[in-house]
Structure 1
Amino acid sequence: MLSRKLFFIFVGLIITLLPVAVLAAPPLQEAGQEYTVQADDWLSKLAEKFYGDPLAYPAIVEATNAKSAGDSTYTAVTNPNVIEVGQKLFIPTAQEASTLLGEQVPYLSGDLTIYSGRGEELVGPLIDQFEQETGLNVEVRYGSTAEMAATILEEGANSPADIYYGQDAGALGALAQAGQLAPLPEDALNLVDPRFRSPEGLWVGTSGRARVVVYNTDKLSEADLPDDIFGFCAPEWKGRLGWAPTNGSFQAFVTAMRVVEGEERAREWLSCIQANEPVVFPGNAPIVQAVGAGEIDAGFVNHYYLFQFLAEEGEDFPVRNYHPRAGDVGAMVNVAGVGIVNTTDNKDAAEAFVRFLLRESSQQFFNTETNEYPLSANIQLNPILIPLQQIQTPNVDLTKLEDLDGTLQLLQELGIL
């Protein structure tokens, strides 16, 4: 009798608790739905909530923008970094999101070793996402672009690397010239303008990086700056400039100057800037910081470093980018890019990684998270970036920037390194 009573009590508890359990479980999303932005929402957070993938947020942007074309209650998302409380979004189903993104990474097996000249803080989240999606065991060795390229050259046929991911075309070109890179799949190459990839199909640009001069807006206006990079040779700039000669981006810029302007002109520029006693920094970010602090008036960097400071310090941070209006090599556009090392024993995984970097959500990551220029996806440019077609840029053949050794020799000869 007692056991029968206990049975009915147990059943009663289950019936009582069942609605609570059902209510606690998240409902399956069987159709796209409207969503009103709440405080502390951002697109990647919503993408993780609905799809388990923070990098899937372009699907929400694309679906919302499509709705806004015919429904005035929706506002188009023009800057994925900015959504307003109360703004109406459309959340497509996971299947619809996959279709919108149009990029399913195949499930793969085995290991993939990446030698990355790009910093972990910049590309680590993307590589982690690739590992999650594919099921691969991804090992990343981080270092400078030049160091990682030199390591592959030294290892030669015994290199364990499957992928080389570098921050400039020069290092990629050096590996290609040495016969260390394997041909890339044509479908991946065709996603990128020929200007930003190897004509032999051995490497491809994944994002664009413009050279600029940062200047202190409390001390200078853009009108005060010379038309071209050679104008900083004037004696009036003595003690007011900063540069980072050991930085790979700076060395790629000097290599481009040697290609575009010739050896003597490059030597002349380096010598005259050196005569103006520039402050030497270990990298780009310290230059921007020093300009903001008023320690120097201007410095030579890549465009995206400024935006890190503006995000932290606000729009009152007294530094802005200047693209030299004459369009000389001081305004060149280089690329970060990727190649498959010809010693790879997992070609399918290596090719999948190349395609992954060029897919829309990854290109959107470069566009909004690292503030670089997307090269493969037809996506709306981050509004903080000046469109490339509006910048006067020189005609630099990126495939000819492989002579980094010549640049290092020149810098050493002049006593800069």
Structure 2
Amino acid sequence: MSVRRLIAAAIIPLALLATACGGGEPAAAPTSSEDPEKFEDASLVIYSGRNENLVGPLIDKLKTATGLDVQVRYGDSAELAAQILEEGERTRADLFFSQDAGALGALSKAGVLAPLPQPLLDRVPEKYRSADGTWIGVSGRARVIVYDPRTVQDPPKSVFDLTDPKYKDKVGWAPTNASFQSFVTALRLVSGEDKARKWLEDMKANGTQTFSNNGNILNAVDEGKVSAGLINHYYWYEKVAEKGEAGVPSKLSFPAEGDPGALVNVAGVSVLKASKHGAAAQKAAEFMLGTEAQKYFADETKEYPLVEGVATAPGLPALDSIKGPDLDLSKLDSLEQTLTLLKEVGLV
């Protein structure tokens, strides 16, 4: 996955440059494995950086609620953003459903997103939407430290605590994971390049164990293979919903106010300027911020709903109680620099 994301990260800046300069070769046709005629005939085409298993049922609800003939291309958010930039005016995408604010920020910077109506933007707090009104968050996820209370009596309150020698060989991370890379981007922006590099190097020197994804880190903590790990909050809550809290030995520590490890990132949507079905795309965006979809995020994926009045999953701390770093989420678009740093440190 790291190689594919490196390619996408390289394509996005090049596409941004081409967009800024104008001209260039005609955009290539999409290389989707989907039947092209499905996209041609659809009344709404969504490029989704969110996993089909996760949001497929929500897309079905969208079809039912709106009556639209919806077709979806699934893929990695950064790669789909790069594809949209390559396709330019010829893109089939009407709505981009991104796993990450960074990919949305890249498209906003490129000027390929249409402004969303203010009443829609006003449904979520300002920090969870773009300043220029071209994308909006639909669900939130908090970075947390999962730990084993059987071996950790004083839970870490900062990612910087994890470089302590007492955690040598006892922490898990997933450097090729998109959420981890977004966190490192936030770390770079909030703490500076030098401090981010030193943290990565110190963690590596402290024997931090590498896993492929958040779920494997959580399982390793529960099985006593490591004492702590860096994950998104909802993996723990999903597992508890499945097995019961008695069946999940680990606990969560929400990092202290301002800590880069307390990042709240969003999945979000945007309407493409080149959309052939702009009204349908806006209707889909409105659905994502409606009660049915917001309850889906809360109840099914255990993410934070961003619209006031929709309850979070039981046991989650209130979203406004998580005091993450002061950061414009659009600036998470600097994935290329993050991947360069991770490569230099030897993590991808």
Contact 2:47 2:95 in 1 (8 A): yes
Q: Which residue of 2 aligns with 1:321?
A: 252
Q: Which residue of 1 aligns with 2:160?
A: 230
Q: Which runs of 5+ in 1 are unaligned?
A: 1-108
The structure 2 residue matched to 1:346, chosen from 253, 271, 277, is 277
Question: How far off its partner does 1:146 sit?
Answer: 1.8
The structure 1 residue matched to 2:183, chosen from 253, 260, 265, is 253
Contact 1:167 1:336 in 2 (8 A): yes
Q: Which residue of 1 aligns with 2:122?
A: 190
Please say if 1:140 is aligned against 2:63: no
Contact 2:42 2:71 in 1 (8 A): no
Secondary structure at 2:50 match in 1: coil
Give me the identity figure in percent: 48
Q: Which residue of 1 aligns with 2:240?
A: 310
Please say if 1:374 is aligned against 2:305: yes
Q: Which residue of 2 aligns with 1:154?
A: 86
Mapped partners of 1:156, 1:110: distance in 2: 19
Mapped partners of 2:124, 2:162: distance in 1: 34
Question: How far off its partner does 1:271 sit?
Answer: 1.0
Whichever residue aligns with residue 192 of structure 2, its letter is G
Whichever residue aligns with residue 382 of structure 1, its letter is A
Whichever residue aligns with residue 191 of structure 1, its letter is R
Whichever residue aligns with residue 344 of structure 1, its letter is S
Contact 2:305 2:311 in 1 (8 A): no
The structure 2 residue matched to 1:272, chosen from 189, 202, 208, is 202
Question: How far off its partner does 1:326 sit?
Answer: 4.7
Q: Which residue of 1 aligns with 2:7?
A: none
Mapped partners of 2:74, 2:174: distance in 1: 20
Q: Which residue of 2 aligns with 1:386?
A: 317
The structure 1 residue matched to 2:295, chosen from 352, 360, 364, is 364
Q: Which moved more, 1:276-285 or 1:345-354?
A: 276-285
Q: Which residue of 2 aligns with 1:283?
A: 213
Question: How far off its partner does 1:172 sit?
Answer: 0.7
Mapped partners of 2:221, 2:73: distance in 1: 32
Q: Which residue of 1 aligns with 2:149?
A: 217
| Number of equivalent positions | 307
Mapped partners of 2:281, 2:237: distance in 1: 32
Query: Over alpha carbons, which structure has the higher Rg?
Result: 1
Q: Which residue of 2 aligns with 1:243?
A: 173
Q: Which residue of 2 aligns with 1:403?
A: 334
Contact 1:166 1:336 in 2 (8 A): yes
Question: How far off its partner does 1:382 sit?
Answer: 2.6
Q: Structure 1 residues 132 and 226, CA, compared in 2 at 3 Å: closer, same or farther?
A: closer
Greater relative contact order structure (CA < 8 Å, 6+ sep): 2
Mapped partners of 2:184, 2:78: distance in 1: 14
Question: How far off its partner does 1:372 sit?
Answer: 1.0
Question: How far off its partner does 1:188 sit?
Answer: 1.0
